[in-house]
Amino acid sequence: MMKGAHFHTAAAFALLALATFHLVSASDPSPLQDFCVALNTTQTAASAVFVNGKFCKDPKLATADDFFFSGLQIPRNTSNPVGSNVTAANVEQIAGLNTLGISLARIDYAPNGGLNPPHTHPRATEILMVMEGTLYVGFITSNPDNRLFTKVLCKGDVFVFPVGLIHFQFNIGEVNAVAIAALSSQNPGVITIANAVFGSNPPINPDVLTKAFQVDNNVVQYLQKQFWYDNN
């Protein structure tokens, strides 16, 4: 009986240890090198190493410029249909971000209604800090609840948009607004909802959208003919 008890106790500890191992090993692995500066496809060589979407430069050839970007201090033109302009600072602009899992963006908003339209980042959580102005921001949870979380942000305020969820920012002030966003991916991606649904190439069959949105076919065809502006 004692041997059986010891066996069951040992088995329980083994299962607990195995479960703990799975819990602690669920995060991304630690880097095995200091950095992996991305190469443009035109620069790739047969000896380059391909890592998560980018080839890596020989570390001995890396320079300070590989980790540098200038321009987020410059106001951007917001005289477009949505009244906003996003300046990204991701791996496409900063080669040294490759494999590091972070990026930045500056968003400029026109007065009285400048909008960063509803969109998602499929690969990143976003944390937004208002630098100037007043923004009405929000995100929507996934099915089936589709809860809307909103907040009015003033200068210095911070708001978080969880990874993959639809979110937006809207300038409710009478002056230009500026925000800086930090994202938990070197290349977070962006899917602007209206652009993707009504501006896809080739267009989605109108019958699909008519049924999905429960509107007349003429409404869908009208929306598909509009010019869907990309503010990124």
Band (227; pLDDT cuts 50, 70, 90):
confident
pLDDT in tens, 171-212: 999 999 999 999 999 999 999 999 999 999 999 999 999 999
DSSP summary character for residue 57: P
- Strand, coil or helix: 169: strand
β-bridge partners, 108: 85, 178
Whether 24 has a pLDDT exceeding 50, the answer reads no
Q: CB–CB of 203/165 below 8 Å?
A: no
Radius of gyration of the chain (CA): 23
Residue 40 carries which DSSP code? P
Q: Grade residue 124 by pLDDT with cuts at 50, 70 and 90.
A: very high
Alpha helices in the chain (DSSP H): 2-24, 193-198, 206-213, 217-224
Q: Using 50, 70 and 90 to split pLDDT, how confident is the model at 56?
A: confident
Please give the average per-residue pLDDT across 73-91, as a whole number: 96
Whether pLDDT at 23 is above 50: no
The pLDDT-based confidence of 25 (bands split at 50, 70, 90) is very low
Chain-centre distance for alpha carbon 4: 54
Check residue 22 and give its pLDDT. 46
Q: Which residue has the higher pLDDT, 201 or 31?
A: 201
The one-letter code for the residue type at 194 is A
Least confident segment among 3-12, 18-27, 56-65, 149-158? 18-27
Using the predicted structure, report yes or no on whether residue 53 has a pLDDT greater than 90: no
DSSP 197-217: HHS-SSPPPHHHHHHHHT--H
Mean pLDDT of 67-79: 95
Pick the closest to residue 193 from 129, 115, 102 (CA basis): 115
Share of the chain above pLDDT 70, in %: 81
The C-alpha atoms of residue 185 and residue 164 are separated, in whole angstroms, by 12
Query: pLDDT by residue (tens digit) across 134-176?
Result: 999 999 999 999 999 999 999 999 999 999 999 999 999 999 9
